[in-house]
A and B are shown apart, each in its own frame.
Chain A
Amino acid sequence: MEYSEKVMEHFVNPHNVGKIDDADGVGEVGNAKCGDIMKMYLKIDDGIITDVKFNTYGCASAIATSSMATDLIKGQPISEALKLTNKAVVEALDGLPAVKIHCSVLAEQAIKAAVRDYYDKNGIEYDEAQFHFNEAHEHGVEE
């Protein structure tokens, strides 16, 4: 197993690490049993993600995908952020080892969870199907 230079770059010096105390939306996905948890904080202004921070417990690919995903949605409209797929994040990182692809799913889900939290807090209506995902991501484990 080998990580790309891009992955190592984002793992060693991850971008957007931290919390936003007055975040407009917060999403947390993953679980301790699987060994990865990602928590995403969004600051939203007029439908635009003006700031984003994350906290991640997990392996190098979990940290690198968090970093890359936050880079990709910063400054973007919510509609664009919701379109972000784990595949796009993996491509931006020049790939991940096959056994690590499941880690990248968390980043996509964390963004969606944070946006949903923003919608819920602000009474914005949305299509539930848009946020449908399996909490246990691709680990397929119980809990």
Chain B
Amino acid sequence: MKVYADNAATTKISDTALNAMMPCYKEIYGNPSSLHSVGQEAFHAVRDARAQIAEILNCKADEIYFTSGGSESDNWAIKGTAELMAKKGKKHIISTKFEHHAVLHTLKYLERRGFEITLLDVYENGIIRLDDLKNAIREDTALVTVMFANNEIGSVQPIREIGAICREKGVLFHTDAVQAVGHLPIDIEKDNIDMLSLSGHKFHGPKGVGALYCKNGIRLPNLIEGGAQERNRRAGTENVPGVVGMAAALKEAADHLEENSAKLTEIRNRVIDGLLKIPCSRVNGDRVQRLPGNVSMCFEGVEGESLLLYLDMVGIQASSGSACTSGSLDPSHVLLSIGLPHEVAHGSLRLSFCEDNTLEQADYIIEQVPPIIKRLRDMSPLWERLQKERGNV
């Protein structure tokens, strides 16, 4: 059996998105800035895509700026706001310890340039406490940036409440909603969001395209100088097939949000309950305030990379936050931020599902994971040591 369970990394493009894109390569290939008819067709395609995305998120079409993806949107929103607010003497930014690197590394960049950064605790369940936020906001706070849902452990923040606090205190609020858009109900107006980043390929759209929602009135500095695209703020010929495919994918995701969510929640809970029967295992992140398709667990005494490579051999594609898979010597900062010791974080497994996954696949995972864990533990001196320490030998 083949099980692709790495949808938080990227999704397969949907037929709907692909079918919407193809004419943009073959027939509507004009430049939206051209005045002739082929150009105008492309112009209309981009305009319609923008309007559709705005309608789904409940904002105005001219508040949507197309970008190359989530990382670009995050960089633009944070660096741009920093530049804007520094002129008013506000050089303090609040975020969380477990943001995506597109946010954390951008904050590091600003820190080196004289900004002060406060990273809120996310506690064991991966959710910030609103009182911590209230206490952290100061007179010189320029921005609060908190991710909507975490990419590794799936915990979902109380975005509406965070937004309300920011409004009350007069502080701008940005959210990296890359994992949430298309998966959770989002209403930009009701959720009190000033800026929001999203990425097309996380909801069955194409790669290399995303968007930044930026509330009218916030004059973010231009990201790319040049032509008049994106209201003069991000020059460059539009990725017409990309934005059209992204809009089609988002429409499809939004139209099926509730049924997908119900299906994914069932798959997710079945996998979590099934894998928790493995001794010395744990779930990471809140079990209720959680992305419907996210399973994040740790298995003591095993190392994540070995686990996921053995899983790949039985057809299951997953991911891990172990040091060996994070490309650094430390395990994922997300797992460390919720208080896991290094040796537990090394044994992490993330399975992220989409609506193409089935309960049969969930059962297959539940059947395949335990023998692999056992095999790895049988040859693990760490497991042997843990068993001795706990008097199990």
Which A residues form the contact surface with B (CB < 8 A)?
1, 11-12, 14, 17-18, 28, 32-39, 55-63, 99-100, 103, 139, 141
- B interface residues, tally (CB under 8 Å): 27
Q: How far is the CB of B119 from chain A (nearest CB, A)?
A: 22
**A61–B310 alpha-carbon span in the complex (Å):** 13
**A103–B322 alpha-carbon span in the complex (Å):** 14
CB–CB B342/A32 < 8 A: yes
Residue of B nearest to A18 (CB): B379
Which B residues form the contact surface with A (CB < 8 A)?
301-306, 309-310, 313, 322-325, 327, 329, 331, 341-343, 346, 376, 379-384
Residue of A nearest to B305 (CB): A59
CB neighbours (8 Å) of B383 from chain A are 57
Residue of A nearest to B323 (CB): A35
CB–CB B380/A56 < 8 A: yes
CB neighbours (8 Å) of A33 from chain B are 341-343
* Pairs A–B under 8 Å by Cβ, sample size 5: A18-B379, A28-B381, A57-B303, A57-B376, A59-B306
Residue of B nearest to A12 (CB): B313
**A50–B306 alpha-carbon span in the complex (Å):** 29
CB neighbours (8 Å) of B303 from chain A are 35-36, 57-59, 62
**A63–B323 alpha-carbon span in the complex (Å):** 15
**A63–B375 alpha-carbon span in the complex (Å):** 12
| A63 in contact with B343 given A55-B384, A57-B380, A57-B383 (CB within 8 Å) | no
CB–CB A139/B329 < 8 A: yes
**A18–B301 alpha-carbon span in the complex (Å):** 16
CB neighbours (8 Å) of A14 from chain B are 379
Residue of B nearest to A100 (CB): B324
CB–CB A55/B305 < 8 A: no
Instruction: State which of A38, A61, A63, A99 has its C-beta within 8 Å of the C-beta of B381.
Output: A38
CB neighbours (8 Å) of B324 from chain A are 35, 58-61, 100, 103
CB–CB B305/A60 < 8 A: yes
Instruction: State which of B306, B327, B331 has its C-beta within 8 Å of the C-beta of A11.
Output: B306
Residue of B nearest to A30 (CB): B381
Instruction: State which of B306, B313, B342 has its C-beta within 8 Å of the C-beta of A58.
Output: B306
Q: How far is the CB of B340 from chain A (nearest CB, A)?
A: 12
Q: How far is the CB of A14 from chain B (nearest CB, A)?
A: 8
**A56–B377 alpha-carbon span in the complex (Å):** 9
CB neighbours (8 Å) of B323 from chain A are 34-35
| A35 in contact with B306 given A28-B381, A59-B324, A99-B327 (CB within 8 Å) | no
CB–CB B322/A35 < 8 A: yes
| A141 in contact with B329 given A35-B346, A59-B306, A63-B306 (CB within 8 Å) | yes
CB neighbours (8 Å) of B305 from chain A are 59-60
